């Protein structure tokens, strides 16, 4: 992204004598205080929808038709949620020592 700004600034400077001023608001990592709250709300919504969908699918016969796009969307949604979960877990332990606690029965 930074390279794109440099190229655009160079092109701008070729056609204008006024200096180009660019303020980069975000580098893709948002620091908004509302993001965690919004993500929490949407994660709960996804869990509720997934539970309801699971119940409907659980009651369907195996030979009932189910459009491929529906299966694809469920699969992609599950994959994306797993990716976000893994990333959030990594963010939470980033820079911290992870200690494994042995089970007392071992």
CB atoms within 10 A of CB 8: 12
- Each residue's pLDDT tens digit, 63-87: 999 999 999 999 999 999 999 999 9
Provide mean pLDDT across the span 2-12: 57
- According to the model, what pLDDT value does residue 35 have? 84
- Each residue's pLDDT tens digit, 10-68: 666 666 666 655 555 555 555 556 788 889 999 999 999 999 999 999 999 999 999 99
Domain range list for the chain: 2-93
- Given a contact cutoff of 8 angstroms between Cβ atoms, the answer to whether 1 and 27 are in contact is yes
Q: Which stretch of DSSP H or E encloses residue 83?
A: helix 68-93
């Amino acid at each position: 992204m930074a390279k794109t700004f440099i190229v655009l600034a160079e092109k701008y400077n070729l056609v204008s004598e006024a200096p180009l001023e660019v303020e980069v608001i975000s580098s893709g990592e948002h620091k908004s205080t509302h993001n965690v709250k919004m993500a929490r709300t949407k994660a709960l919504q996804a869990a509720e929808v997934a539970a309801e969908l699971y119940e409907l699918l659980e009651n369907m016969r195996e030979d009932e038709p189910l459009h491929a796009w529906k299966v694809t969307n469920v699969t992609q949604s599950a994959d994306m949620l797993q990716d976000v979960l893994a990333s959030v877990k990594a963010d939470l332990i980033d820079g911290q020592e992870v200690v494994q606690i042995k089970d007392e029965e071992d």
